[in-house]
Amino acid sequence: MPKFTNETITDPAQLKKELARIRQEGYALDWGEREEHVRCVAAPIFNHEDRVIASISISGPSNRITTYYMKHELVDVVKEIASKVSHKMGFNEEHLIQ
């Protein structure tokens, strides 16, 4: 796996662990894995068939998107917006809880 920055996950086992966390928690974080000094929070958007059809994210420079701000404010905002859009697309999260 190509390494773009010092933050890029190149170990397959570590990537699988991160993907499991993303599925469990419902959002992804980018700590500059692709572009140095750029951070991102993303969440999936589901349709009426409970399939991921898109995602929503917010990105910015790491000097403005601090670790605290990213984890304690942006995650909640991005997940809330993704949830609202998903519901407008007919998504019913009760199907996923089973």
Please tell us whether the domain made up of 12-93 is placed in CATH 3.30.450.40.
yes
pLDDT at 98: 47
In the chain, where the domains are located = 12-93
Q: Dump the DSSP string for 2-33.
A: ---STT----HHHHHHHHHHHHHHT-EEESSS
Q: What pLDDT does 79 receive?
A: 96
List the chain pLDDT tens, one digit each, 98 residues. 899 999 999 999 999 999 999 999 999 999 999 999 999 999 999 999 999 999 999 999 999 999 889 988 999 999 999 999 999 999 987 655 54
